[in-house]
């Protein structure tokens, strides 16, 4: 897939880990995501692998996650709408063109415990 930015640049979406692509989730969907996570964690199902596959299947079917791109040429941000088209926004007072190029922590602390 590719998208043509209004500046003429072609934005490609043909592989994983793109530095100019992201996924956005509304606040309403975010809480649905947390609820889904809670249900999976609290599930009595013993087959954890099936549980993970159920989670992934529901993630795309139950939670709406939109795509977002930033044009690396002009800095416009393009956000997917409800019809899988893109609305673009022009940067205001900056020239940052790498807003989606970041990583969080690479490890998950499974030993995290709630305070008693
Ligand atoms: Zn552009």
Q: Is residue 116's pLDDT more than 60?
A: no
Is 71 part of any domain? yes
Residue 25's contacts (CB-CB under 8 Å, 6 or more residues apart) are 33, 63, 64, 65, 66
Dist CA 64 CA 58 (whole Å): 10
Instruction: Identify the pLDDT of residue 45.
Output: 84
59 CA from centroid of ligand 1 (Å): 30
pLDDT at res. 5: 97
**Could you tell me if residue 100 is inside a domain?**
no
pLDDT digits 0-9 by tens, 59-91: 877 888 899 999 999 999 999 998 889 999 999
Instruction: For residues 106 and 78, give the distance between their C-alpha atoms in angstroms, rounded to a whole number.
Output: 27
| Residue 115 placed within a domain | no
So what's the pLDDT on residue 112? 62
Distance 9 CA to ligand 1 centre (A): 5
Q: What is the pLDDT of residues 5-50, one digit of tens each?
A: 999 999 999 999 999 999 999 999 999 989 888 888 888 888 888 8
| Position 77 in a domain | yes
- Our count of domains for the chain comes to 1
Q: Give the Å distance between the CA of 102 and the centre of ligand 1.
A: 20
In the reported structure, the alpha carbon of residue 13 is separated from the centroid of ligand 1 by a whole-number distance in angstroms of: 15
Instruction: Please state, in angstroms and rounded to a whole number, the distance separating the CA atoms of residues 92 and 115.
Output: 43
Q: Look-up: residue for tokens 């590719």? A: 2
In the chain, % helix, strand, coil (3-state, to 5) comes to: 25, 20, 55
Domain contains 17: yes
Q: Is the dihedral of CA 15, 19, 20, 25 positive or negative?
A: positive
Q: Does residue 95 lie in a domain region? A: no
Six token digits for residue 61: 């079917």
Question: Where in the sequence is the domain holding 29, given as residue range(s)?
Answer: 2-89
CA of 115 relative to ligand 1 center, distance in Å? 48
pLDDT score of 105: 75
Task: Answer yes or no: is 62 within a domain.
Answer: yes
What is the pLDDT, as a whole number, of residue 67?
A: 94
Distance CA 84, CA 78 (A): 11
CA of 76 to the centre of ligand 1 (A): 5
90-111: average pLDDT? 82
Please, which pLDDT band fits residue 115 given cuts at 50, 70 and 90?
low
């Amino acid at each position: 897939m590719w998208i043509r930015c209004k500046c003429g640049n072609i934005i490609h979406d043909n592989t994983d880990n793109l530095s100019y692509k992201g996924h956005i989730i509304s606040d309403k969907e975010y809480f649905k995501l947390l609820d889904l996570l809670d249900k999976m964690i609290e599930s009595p199902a013993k087959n954890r692998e099936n549980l993970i596959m159920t989670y992934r299947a529901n993630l795309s079917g139950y939670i709406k996650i939109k795509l977002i791109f930033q044009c690396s040429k002009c800095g416009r941000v393009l956000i997917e709408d409800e019809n899988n088209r893109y609305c673009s926004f022009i940067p205001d007072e900056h020239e940052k063109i790498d807003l989606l190029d970041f990583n969080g922590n690479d490890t998950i602390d499974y030993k995290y415990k709630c305070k008693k």
